[in-house]
Structure 1
Amino acid sequence: MDDPWTQAMRRGDFPAAWGMAAKALAARDPVTRDDPSLPYHLRWVWDGRPFDGRRVLVRCYHGLGDTLMFSRFLPLLARRAARVTVEMQPHLLPLFRGFPGIDLRPFDVARPLPPQECDIEIMELPLALRASPIDAPIPQMGITPAALPSGTVALCWGAGDWDRERSVPQAMFAPLCDGPALSLMPGPSGLPVLNPDGCPLDMVLTAQLVAGSALVITVDTMIAHLAGMLGWPVWLLVKHDPDWRWPTEGTRTPWYPTMRVFRQPAPGDWEAVMADVTRALRHEPVLATGAMT
C-alpha cells in the first residue's frame, strides 16, 4: 500500500500533499538540514523560513528530469523574492538562459555555493509556494526544431541505473520504427533509426531533436520531462507501480498537458504496454506538425 502522500500526489490532491509535507517539515531536526554527510539527493534544504523579499538560493540536488519538471515554479518564486540564484546542473544551463530575473550558476558538487538568506531545493518549491502545476504554466524555452523527415517518431527506451524496472528492452521498440524513427538514447542502436550512433550528449541539440519530431515515445526518464517542458506530444511508458508524479488511473497528468500515459496492467508487463502503443500509433497517424489525428 502506497503512503498517503504518494496517493495524494498521484491523484493530484496537492493541498492534501502539502499538508502532510508541512507536518513532516515541522518534525525535522534543524541540525540535519542540508546534511553534508548525506548524498545530495537525500538532503532536505528549506526549513520553512520566509522567502518574500529575500535573496533566495535554489539548489538542484536531484536528477536532470527533476530540475526540468520543477523549473516551472522558478518564475513564481522570482516574482516574490528580492533575488533568485539557481545552482543548476551544468548540462541544463543552456536551456534556461532566457528565464528572466534569475541568476543561473553551475552546480559544482565539490564546491556548492554558500547559503543565502533563504535556501531551498528546487523540488521543495511547490510546498513553499503552495503552487500546483496548474498555478505554474510551463515557460517558453525558445528551441529551434531540428530538420527531420515528416512524421518522425523519437524514441527513448532506457531509464538508466536509478530504477532499471523503468526501462523497456530495446527490441520491443522495433514495431515503432515502421516509419521514420529517431533514437534519443546516448549510445548506438540496432534499430532502424535515423541516427544509429545515438543522440548527442547535448541538451540543446536533444531539445531540438525533440522539437523536430512529431511525437516522443519514452520511458520514465529525463526525456519525458524535456518533451513535456517543450509542450510536445509525448507518450510516457510507466511501470505498474509508477513514480509518485504519475497517475495510476487515467492517461493524463496535470504536470504536462501534452503527455499521454501508458501504464503496465501488471508488474513487468511491458508486452501489453507496447501492444497498446503500437496499436495507438497505427490508428493515430503522426503528422509533421506534431499533432495527432
Structure 2
Amino acid sequence: MSDVGGTLKALETQAQALLVAGRGAEVEAMVRPLLASGSGAVSLWALLAQALRVQGRVAEARPIQEMLVDALPGHLPTRFDLSETLLLLGDFDRGWREYGYRYSLAHTTRIERKVQRPRWDGRPIPGQTLLIHDEQGYGDTFQFLRMVAWARERSQAKVVLEINHEMASIARRMSGFDAITLRGELPPPFDVHCEMMSLPMAMGLKLGDLPGDPMPYLTALPDRRETWRRRLAPHAGLKVACLWAGRPTHMNDANRSVSLATLAPLAQDGVTFFSIQKGPSEGDALAPPPGMNLVSLSPEIRDFEDTAAILCEVDLLISIDSSPVHLAGALGRPAWVMLPLLPDWRWLQGRDDTPWYPSVRLFRQTEWGRWDQVVDRVAAALTEHKRAG
C-alpha cells in the first residue's frame, strides 16, 4: 500500500470511530480541507455525507450522496444510504425506488427472499394470486400491514399474506387479505409476490396518502384486554407503559436505546409506570430509579396479544423507537416516542407528529446523545397531560 493509501485508510478508521461517537463536526473539519478543490477520493465524500447526517444536516448530505450514486451507480450500499436520506426528507417518490436496494447490504442479504415469481409492480392483476410477505423487524411489519388491503384493492387479485408466527394472531383479525400463511410454511400457489416494504414502491405511496383507511387497522383481543384491565386496576393515577431499550442486535441500537436510569426525571406523584421491556434490559425494572413508581409486567407478557391489550388499557406509552410504538400507532393508542438526533427514516424531520400514526407524538434530540433534554421535555409534557386529564 502506498503512503497516500495508508494515510487515507488511517483517516477513514479514525473518522468512523468519531462518527459512531456522534462527533460529526470533527469529521467534517478533518475532510473538508481535503475536498476544498472540489475533487477528492470517493471515500472522503462519503465520510463528509455521514458527518453531515450525524449532525442532523441531512438536507446538506443529500447532494453529496446523489453525486456518489452518479459516480458509482453499481455500488448498491451507496444507493441504499441515499434512500434513507431521501425518505427521511420526505422524498417518497425517489426514496422508495432507491430503497429497493436494501438487500445489497452485508447484514440484509441473509433475509432476502429468493422467490421464483415476478414482483408485483402495482398494476391490476384480476384473477391472479398475489403473495405479500413480511421481511424485516416486527415494527416494520406493524407499520406496513395497513397496505395489504390497499394492495388487494389496487391489484384486484386474491391476496395471500405470509407473516411471522409471533404476529399471526393479531394479523388474522385484520381485513384486506384472502388467506394467511406463516413464514417457513409452504405458501399456496401464487402468480406474483411483493415484500411488504416494497408495497410503497409498487403503489407509489406518497406522504399525502397517510395514514390511510382504516385507522386504526389493528385490534386487541377483548378477553386479553379484560385480563389486563383487572391486573392494572389496583394501581391508581395515570397509567403509563414504558420501554427504554431496543433489540441489542439492531444496527442503530446504541443510538436509539437509553438506560432506565435516564428516565428518572419522569417520576412524579400520581403516575404509575408499567414496564413492558423485554430482552436483556428487562430485569432493570426490578431496581427502578428513586421515586419512580414502576411495576414490571414483562414476565407476564407472553406475546404481542398481551402487549396490544396492555396498550389498550393504559393511558399512554412512553418509549424509545421500538416495535410496541408501531403496535400502539396501529391500534390508535397514544404513544410518545423519544428519538435520537438522526432518527430512523420513517420519522421524517422537524415535526413532533407523524403522518403514519395520528396518535403518536415525537420528542427529538436537538444534540447528539443528549437524552437528558428529551426526557426533561417528556416529563414536562407528562405533568401537563396529568393536569389536563
TM bucket normalised to smaller: 0.7 to 0.9
| Inter-CA distance 41–270: structure 2 relative to 1 (3 Å threshold) | farther
Structure with bigger gyration radius: 2
Match of 1:270 in 2: 371
Alignment check: 8 A CA contact 2:150 2:176 kept: no
Match of 2:304 in 1: 203
Deviation at 1:50, TM superposition (A): 4.0
Deviation at 1:197, TM superposition (A): 5.0
Residue identity opposite 1:142 in structure 2: T
Given the two structures, how large is their TM-score scaled by the length of structure 1? 0.83
Instruction: Output the CA distance in 2 between the equivalents of 1:183 and 1:70.
Output: 26
What aligned pairs does 1:61-100 form with structure 2 within 5 A after superposition?
61-79=135-153, 80-100=155-175
Q: Structure with the greater relative contact order (CA < 8 A, sep ≥ 6): 1 or 2? A: 1
Instruction: Output the CA distance in 1 between the equivalents of 2:303 and 2:316.
Output: 20
For residues 97-122 of structure 1, the C-alpha deviation after alignment (integer angstroms, 9 at most, x for no partner) is 122352121112xx664772111100
What percent of counterpart residues are identical? 26
Structure 1, 130-139 or 222-231: larger mean CA deviation: 130-139
Structure 1 residue 105 corresponds to structure 2 residue 105 = no
Given the two structures, how large is their TM-score scaled by the length of structure 2? 0.64
Match of 2:111 among 40, 48, 62: 40
Structure 1, 218-227 or 182-191: larger mean CA deviation: 182-191
Structure 1 residue 250 corresponds to structure 2 residue 351 = yes
For residues 172-228 of structure 1, the C-alpha deviation after alignment (integer angstroms, 9 at most, x for no partner) is 123334321101112231224222654514110110001111010111110110111
| Inter-CA distance 224–267: structure 2 relative to 1 (3 Å threshold) | same
Instruction: Output the CA distance in 2 between the equivalents of 1:117 and 1:17.
Output: 27
Structure 1, 258-267 or 50-59: larger mean CA deviation: 50-59
Match of 1:10 in 2: 88
- Aligned residue for 2:347, secondary structure, equals coil
Which ranges of structure 2 fall in alignment gaps of 5 or more residues?
1-60, 66-81
Alignment check: 8 A CA contact 2:89 2:348 kept: yes
For residues 35-91 of structure 1, the C-alpha deviation after alignment (integer angstroms, 9 at most, x for no partner) is xx9311598983637453221111111011100000000111122332111110100
Instruction: Output the CA distance in 1 between the equivalents of 2:139 and 2:321.
Output: 9
Q: How many residues align?
A: 275
Residue identity opposite 1:261 in structure 2: L
Structure 1 residue 141 corresponds to structure 2 residue 228 = no
Structure 1 residue 236 corresponds to structure 2 residue 337 = yes
- Aligned residue for 1:152, secondary structure, equals strand
Instruction: Output the CA distance in 1 between the equivalents of 2:216 and 2:298.
Output: 32
Alignment check: 8 A CA contact 1:134 1:254 kept: yes
Structure having the larger proportion of residues in helix: 2
Instruction: Output the CA distance in 1 between the equivalents of 2:297 and 2:267.
Output: 12
For residues 146-191 of structure 1, the C-alpha deviation after alignment (integer angstroms, 9 at most, x for no partner) is 3134520010101112022210111112333432110111223122
For residues 127-149 of structure 1, the C-alpha deviation after alignment (integer angstroms, 9 at most, x for no partner) is 21223324444344232343134
Match of 1:182 in 2: 274
- Aligned residue for 1:104, secondary structure, equals strand
Match of 1:153 among 227, 231, 240: 240
Alignment check: 8 A CA contact 1:154 1:213 kept: yes
Residue identity opposite 2:84 in structure 1: T
- Aligned residue for 1:210, secondary structure, equals helix
RMSD over equivalenced CA pairs, Å: 2.8
